Structure 1
Amino acid sequence: MFLLNLPINIKEQAAIERRRSEEQKRLSRIFNVKYRTIGIDKTALDEQVQERQYMKDLEKQRNDAFDREMIRNDLKQRLLEQEEFSEKRQYAQELNNYRLLYQKPEDSREWDLNDPNKWKKLAPARTSDDDPRLSLSSGQKFAGEDLQNSIRKKFQQEQLKNYFDLQTQVKTERNKQERLASLLYDYKQMELNEQSNRFEKMENECHRAIEIATRNYNEILARETKIRVNEQKTRQTEEQLAEIANAAFSDMLTESSTSVSDSRCHIMVDQWKGMSRDQLEDIRHQQLSQIAERQKRNDAEKSFDETWKKYSDAIAKQAIIVEQQIEGDRRKYNHCLANENKNLAKIQRERQDYLNSIVYRSAPAAAFYQQFNMTSR
C-alpha cells in the first residue's frame, strides 16, 4: 500500500517551480517570431521612448495650465456666488425685519379670526376627572377615554426630535468630511501653483540677470559719456572765465597807458586817442593764440570721438563675428547630425537588404515549420 501522506520537500518543490518558470520564459522568447527573426533596434526604441516622454510632459504641462485656469475660474465663480448669496440673504433679512417691525400678524384686523392659539387661550371643558365643573348631565366624562394622550404625544415628539438631532449631527459630520476633502484638494492645487510659480520665478530671474548685465553695460557707457560731457563743460567754463578775465583785465578795457593817465591813474579823456599799434598787435596775437588753442582742443575732441566710435564699431563687429561663429557651429552640428542620420539609415537599409536578399532568400515549406514549436529544447 502506498504512503500518500509523506511530507513535501520544500527545496525540491522550489527547484521544480524555478525550472517551470524558466521554461515558460524560454518558450516566450523562442516563440516570439518578431523578436527571433527581426531583432530589436534599441536606438530607435530609445528615441521613441524619449519622444513619447516628451509628448507626455508637454501634455501634462498643457493639462496643468488648463487645471490652473479651471481653478481660477472656479474661485471667481465661488466668489460671485457667495456675493450673490450674501446680497439675497441681506435682502431677505431686511424684508423679515420690516415685516417683524411693521407687519405683525397680531396687528391685523382679522387676528381674532386667524389666531392659531385662540382655542388654547380658551378654558378647557375639563381639566381632569375630578373637575368640580363636571356633572351627570355635562357629557364630558366617558368610559374608555385616553387621558394620557398628551403625555404620549409629548414623548413621541421628544423621540422624533432626538431622531432629527441625530440626522442633523450625521449630516454635519458628512459636510465636515466633504469640506476637509475640498480643503485638501485646494491645498494640493496651491502646492502645484507654488511649484509652477517657482519655475516661472527661476525663468524670470534668468531674464532679470541678463537685463542687469545689459543695464550695467549701458550704465558704464552712459557714465563715460557723462564724464566726457562734464569735462567738456568744465573746459568750456574755464575758457569762458579766462576769456572774461582777459577781456576784463586787458589793456583794451583798462586802458592803462601812462601817457593818458594822471597821477591818480585816471584816464584823461580829452588826451586819449585810442590804442596804439603795439596794443592792437598784442590783442591780435592773443586772439590768434586763443583760436589756435581752441582749434587744437576741437581736434583733440574730434580725435577722441573718432577713437570712441572705432571702439564701439569694433565691439559691434566682434559681437557680429561671435554670433556668426555660433550660427556656423549650429549649422555644422545640424549638418553632422543629418549626415549621421543618413549613415544610420543607409546601414539600416543595407542590413534590411542583406536580410531580405541573403538570410531570408529561400522560403521554407510548410513541413519545415511543423518540426518547431513543439518544445523549448
Structure 2
Amino acid sequence: MLMLPQDLKEAAKIERRRKFEEERRGRIFNARNRLIGIDKEALEKQIKEKQLRDQEERKINEAYEIQRIKEAELASIIERRIEEERRKINEEINRFRATYQKPETRREFDLYDPDALKKAIPCRVHDDDPRCGISSAQKFEGEDLAGKERAKYQIEQNRAWLEQQIAERRAADEERKAAQIAYDEAVLAMDKRACELDRMEQECRRRLKEAHQQFNKVLAEEQAHERRLEAVRELEDNQAEIYNFVTGDFLCENRDVALSNLGSKRVIGYLYKGMTQDELQEVRKVQLKQIAERKRAEEDEAHMNAQWDEVANGMAQHAFLLERELLEKQREINKQILGQNKQLSAQQKSYQEYVEKILYTNKPTAAYFEQFNTSTR
C-alpha cells in the first residue's frame, strides 16, 4: 500500500493523540495522586486559627522575654552598684594604709630595712679615720698597707719578664731562621762544600740545642721562684686570717660592736649578739599592743562582713520575690491559654457535630459512585 506524505502526517497525529490519552488515563485513574471529598474552607479556617494561635503565643513569649531582660538588667545594675561600693571601700582602705601606715613610719623599721647596710657607714673609711682609735680593733701592726703598690710593682715585674721572654723568643726565632737559611745555602752548594755543610749543620744544631736548654732553664727558675712567692703569700694570709678570727669581735662576744653610728637604738645586723631583758620586755609590750589592734581589726572586719551578708540576703530576697512574681504571671498566661484551648475544643466539637448530624446527612448510594471513572473526558 502506497503511503503519501499527507497520510504519514495523519498517522503521526493519531499516534500522538493515542499516547497522550494513555498518559492522561494513567494520571486520572491513579488513586495515589487523586484527592476527593476534602473541605477546602475548613482547612483554610483551621490554618488561620493555627496562625492566630501562633501569633498569640509569639506575643506572649515576646512579652515574657522583654520582662526577663528588664529583670536581668535590673539585677545587673544592682550587682554593679554593689561592686562599685565594695571597690570604693577597698580603695579607701588602701589609701589610708598608703598614707598613715607606711613601713618607714614604724618603730621597728630599722630592724628589717633593706637599705640598712647601704645607709651604714663602714667601720674604717681610711687609715687616718679618727674613729679608729687604739681599742677600735680596726687597725693592726703588720697590716699590708702597701698592698696596692706591691701589686702594681708585681704587675710591672711580670710585664718586664714577659717582654724579656718575648725578646728571647724573638732572638731564638731569628737564630732559627738564620740556621735554616744557612742550611738551605749548604744544600745548594752540596757538590762543592759537602764537608763544610756537615760541619755547619752540626754547629747549627748545637747552637739551637743550647738556646733551647738555656730558655727552658730560665723558665724553670722563674716558675720555681713564682711558686715560692705564692707559698709565702698564702702562709702570711692564713696566719693573718687565723689571728683575725681569734682576736675578732665574733669570738669575743662583744655586744658594743653591734651599736650603729646612726643612733643609740640602731644596731648592725651581722654583729648583733641578741637582745637584753629590757629589750625583750619592750618587744613583748609591742606584741601585746599589736595583738589588741589585730583583734580590733578582726572585729571591724566581722562587722563589715555581717553588713555585706545583710545586703546580699536582701538582694537574694528581692530576686526571690521577682522570680515568684514571674511565676505567677506565667501561671496566669497558662490559664489563659488553657481557657482558649478549651474554647477552641468546644468549637471544634460543635462543628464536628454539625458536619456529622446536619451537613452530611444525605449519604450517597453505590450508583452515585459507579458513574465516575468510566471515561477520561
TM-score by length of 1: 0.30
TM-score by length of 2: 0.30
Larger radius of gyration: 2
